[in-house]
Structure 1
């Protein structure tokens, strides 16, 4: 059986096929239509039609930005990247349109499930996943996903609000924040990827930008450690491709925000990078046969 996995973000929609060997193939990407619910729904419809011309799919898994009522497959809260998105319904309309099962999950929850199933957290438990991209999101797993009483838990991007600057953790530690720092100190042609390449060659300005950004990230991770006391924190999103190089900057800064001897949590980079949520979106279809073991 094959499944279509779709990851809806504020900038791009990524999608791929999970084949019979449980490997994602035929990766594709489109810019997200952010004008209205109707435009976005029609875009997803077109993607599904495009895929069904080539594949016989047994189900559709959707990973999406926003707070999700997974029973209804509906968006109950959305941030500023998709301002029209609250109230968007995916599950029932797509089932009626395409006559296949549909599951819908928050993108960070999906990324955590993907890492637990196929990535850096196999057989691990008591995990907090933070994804750093256009914004910052969180997810917590302790034998199951923990969403909170009102499905609003883990919204860590809103932590550390500073009334003096009207900024929060997300606005200071996201990839967008890094891009702003690059523009202020260097120029518009330098991408985050270029920044890291130059830093590895010894560029002092680049190293300073990364160091200051890592301090912002570390501050938020320290709050997560104080609140959740997780055994593991896994950092996802595109920036995880920087691997241990970036992780070293972050880990050096975390102790400054914690009481002495409080840092027992193991911090890791995601290994599936931008594919984690695509794997996690499909996982509910396979969890009975593929359920990862939980370490104690």
Structure 2
């Protein structure tokens, strides 16, 4: 059995795992990204995870990173301030030289959809759309069993499509982006905006208040679900996938809003939560190494 490492680099945390070619999770390590401290610190945290997981029998490292990734070169073409200083870094070069092993770098959501197609909720499907709701919002598409990266490696940048023209300013420079309405960051910022004070620091805080029948959190979750259902409806009409997978940390609270979401999507649609939970990208990055990058 081959053993490889899969890594998920996000704005909030870095998660890594040693994955066997049979799909077993042998070992894993998680750490906070502390992205606000900049590129060198993010790299230091990444090295810490890899150092803990790497061994002589590891046959490759697959990395799924937030941002637009040139899959061929391993360079981060563009990343928002969720990962400050990340634009322009060549992760493939850095990691392959440091650990002297085969390395593949892919967009984190592209890796996640590969993981879900391998062992998760999309295992039996060929036409798949995935949306991840975390610090930001990401997307990925598999059509006829093939991962769609796009001619500029920018396919399915759902978080930076315009949901509400002229809406909230996004850190990408546009106004009204999806990410400003349905990400975990957007959820807690909206709560504080309505409250007129910085009362919460995460979407998790908002959902905890929701369970206590807090009025502001009820309003925020209602807005979140309506915006998410609008996005799903529009994308469904454009791509017509067999299944839509929702992933990312916000889905940990799905029991609070899942039925409401389904009631808002007024069309026949197969929609599911990621079966691998927060490990979708880890498994997918590992699968990319095992498959020599071919999906």
Query: Which category describes the TM-score, using the shorter chain as reference length?
Result: 0.7 to 0.9
1:24: how far off? 1.9
1:211: how far off? 1.7
Task: Please name the residue that 2:171 is paired with.
Answer: none
Match among 161, 165, 186 for residue 162 of structure 1: 165
Contact 2:21 2:290 in 1 (8 A): no
1:231: how far off? 2.0
- Do the aligned partners of residues 122 and 138 (structure 1) sit closer, same or farther apart at CA in structure 2, a change above 3 Å counting? same
Cα separation, 1, equivalents of 2:208 and 2:48: 38
CA deviation string 1:106-161 (max 9, x = no partner): 11111111111111111112111000111111101012111222222211112224
Q: Indicate the SS of the match to 2:260.
A: helix
Task: Please name the residue that 1:149 is paired with.
Answer: 151
Contact 1:182 1:190 in 2 (8 A): no
List gaps (5 residues or longer) in structure 1: 256-262
Match runs of 1:109-128 below 5 Å:
109-128=110-129
1:244: how far off? 5.1
Match runs of 1:248-259 below 5 Å:
248-255=259-266
Cα separation, 1, equivalents of 2:27 and 2:191: 33
Match among 223, 247, 250 for residue 258 of structure 2: 247
How many residue pairs match? The answer is 282
RMSD across aligned positions (CA):
2.6
- Do the aligned partners of residues 182 and 76 (structure 1) sit closer, same or farther apart at CA in structure 2, a change above 3 Å counting? same
Contact 1:108 1:129 in 2 (8 A): yes
- Do the aligned partners of residues 42 and 139 (structure 1) sit closer, same or farther apart at CA in structure 2, a change above 3 Å counting? same
1:96: how far off? 2.3
Matched, 1:270 2:274: yes
Cα separation, 2, equivalents of 1:99 and 1:38: 20
Give the alignment's TM-score, normalised by structure 1.
Answer: 0.85
> Which has the higher mean CA deviation after the structures are superposed, 197-206 or 12-21?
197-206
- Do the aligned partners of residues 199 and 32 (structure 1) sit closer, same or farther apart at CA in structure 2, a change above 3 Å counting? closer
Match among 183, 186, 203 for residue 174 of structure 1: 183
List gaps (5 residues or longer) in structure 2: 169-174
Cα separation, 2, equivalents of 1:37 and 1:195: 30
Q: Indicate the SS of the match to 1:94.
A: helix
Q: Indicate the SS of the match to 2:121.
A: coil
CA deviation string 1:156-209 (max 9, x = no partner): 112224215433211011111111233345672585445445545655554333
